[in-house]
Chain A
């Protein structure tokens, strides 16, 4: 039995169907990459799983917790879902009026109700883990984009979530800062966190993920290991998608 079960997740914006009855089983320790053309609902999938968007239908099961994602008013279950999952956003979304340390401590104090000293200890460890021990007293505006995203990752990891959702964590970064964030995510993956990552960094996906989902038009078109997805794509749409990416990564010209 899988650790996390997502069933029949559907979401539409007005008439536009973004997710169409998605079913997904996630095993503990899975690092799943979600790839696909833009506008196919990759981010929406993550945002529905974390219930930042309310889907039309769909349920999620974590150990001992069943949540109807489409229901309104089930605040208690939704809060427990939020507590047991973590999210890292494309635009970092750090608390602007809090230092890096306070950003990481916030959830530990308010949600986990830890004493301040203990929260600070954990937060400092997490910041050290992402290589930012010396930036504890910096406010977000004093940090580069890559550093802000690493603080955001530390903030998510500090809560020890059963599932971490990464929503295009490097898309808003300058190219030279992408590497440090990917390294941080890779490290977390090696520590055994269960992850769902939307990413356009195909080399990273190939190296870090143990499973890749190709999402198109609200369906999971293909689901397999990176070797299967990139080496032996079955559907024509995936073949086309991968050839386009390969073309991007190929040299501009050859002799």
Chain B
């Protein structure tokens, strides 16, 4: 038996694990993108109180938020092949469950899970938009779609952004459960390394370090985006504008 804790190994593991960083990030980014679209749709349905759809959406959100993501991953992993089998039986064809890449199961489960949370984030952001701006746009003669895309969404997206950043961070960490769907992401790679070396503790410390650094990077990126989305504190100076100095002076007052 060697050392109790092999510090060096924590770091030598990292390059081997980082080989699977693209898998983790692909999964996180694609699931986030899909969940943004789906979550926004759900939020608009709830916000507009559409008949028939609203109770369905409410039930969906309740189920998704009321069950662990791990269970949802298993349900997807075993459920999709059953749907395939059913379709095959209906059509009298054969099916091949292993033809579906494992990452697809994880993508579906994580995207659906995240969409329920994003829906609530978007809904509260949509509600935060001041009615007066919507009335002003209405009285100009803008269509419902124009008001949504040009006034309401940009306004509410800025409000939702900090929460969406948090959601993305937790989604990145959520991808570490994808191994239950046979996806080899960073965590799965770590488990494999651990199984080979029997140095599980070291490999999990390596993983912890990697996830932590990713989170810090994402946090900083979100801060940058938030800053870009914010209405500037100073009056923006247009280049070549003759009264630029005057405008700046006015802003300082």
A residues sitting closer than 8 Å to B (CB atoms) are 50, 52, 79-80, 82-83, 85-87, 89, 91-97, 99, 106-107, 110-111, 134-135, 137-139, 141-142, 152, 155, 159
Distance between Cα atoms of A24 and B142 in the complex (Å) = 27
Q: Say if the beta carbon of B140 comes within 8 Å of chain A.
A: yes
CB-defined A-B contacts under 8 Å, sample of 27: A50-B139, A52-B139, A80-B141, A82-B138, A83-B140, A86-B139, A86-B140, A87-B136, A87-B139, A95-B133, A95-B151, A96-B133, A99-B236, A106-B150, A107-B140, A110-B142, A110-B150, A111-B141, A134-B246, A137-B235, A137-B236, A137-B237, A138-B251, A139-B235, A141-B231, A142-B235, A159-B140
Partner of A107, one of B133, B142, B251: B142
Q: Mark B110-124, 1 if CB is under 8 A from A, else 0.
A: 000000000000000
With CB as the reference atom, state the residue of chain B lying closest to A101.
Answer: B238
Q: Say if the beta carbon of B98 comes within 8 Å of chain A.
A: no
B146 contacts A110, C-beta separation under 8 Å? yes
Whole-angstrom distance from the CB of B55 to the nearest CB of chain A?
A: 23
Note all chain B residues with C-beta closer than 8 A to A91. 132
B residues sitting closer than 8 Å to A (CB atoms) are 130, 132-133, 135-143, 146, 150-151, 154-155, 158, 231-232, 235-238, 241, 243, 246-247, 250-251
B142 contacts A97, C-beta separation under 8 Å? no
**Given A93-B132, A96-B231, A97-B155: A79 and B141 interface contact (C-beta under 8 Å):** yes
Partner of B130, one of A83, A96, A110: A96
Note all chain B residues with C-beta closer than 8 A to A141. 231
Note all chain A residues with C-beta closer than 8 A to B139. 50, 52, 82, 85-87
Distance between Cα atoms of A141 and B143 in the complex (Å) = 26
B135 contacts A89, C-beta separation under 8 Å? yes
Whole-angstrom distance from the CB of B161 to the nearest CB of chain A?
A: 13
B238 contacts A107, C-beta separation under 8 Å? no
Distance between Cα atoms of A159 and B143 in the complex (Å) = 15
Note all chain B residues with C-beta closer than 8 A to A138. 235, 247, 250-251
A93 contacts B141, C-beta separation under 8 Å? no
**Given A96-B231, A138-B235, A139-B231: A82 and B140 interface contact (C-beta under 8 Å):** yes
A82 contacts B231, C-beta separation under 8 Å? no
**Given A52-B138, A106-B150: A96 and B155 interface contact (C-beta under 8 Å):** yes
**Given A52-B135, A137-B247: A97 and B140 interface contact (C-beta under 8 Å):** no
Whole-angstrom distance from the CB of A202 to the nearest CB of chain B?
A: 26
Distance between Cα atoms of A94 and B251 in the complex (Å) = 19
A93 contacts B135, C-beta separation under 8 Å? yes
Partner of A94, one of B136, B143, B154, B235: B136
Distance between Cα atoms of A134 and B243 in the complex (Å) = 7
Note all chain A residues with C-beta closer than 8 A to B250. 134-135, 138
Distance between Cα atoms of A48 and B143 in the complex (Å) = 18
- In the A-B complex, the 8 residue pairs with the smallest Cβ-Cβ separation, listed nearest first, are A83-B141, A93-B132, A107-B140, A82-B141, A93-B136, A87-B139, A111-B141, A110-B146
With CB as the reference atom, state the residue of chain A lying closest to B149.
Answer: A110
Whole-angstrom distance from the CB of A173 to the nearest CB of chain B?
A: 15
Distance between Cα atoms of A91 and B136 in the complex (Å) = 10
Note all chain A residues with C-beta closer than 8 A to B237. 137
Note all chain B residues with C-beta closer than 8 A to A87. 135-136, 139
Whole-angstrom distance from the CB of B146 to the nearest CB of chain A?
A: 5
Partner of A97, one of B132, B138, B231: B231
**Given A95-B151, A137-B238: A79 and B231 interface contact (C-beta under 8 Å):** no
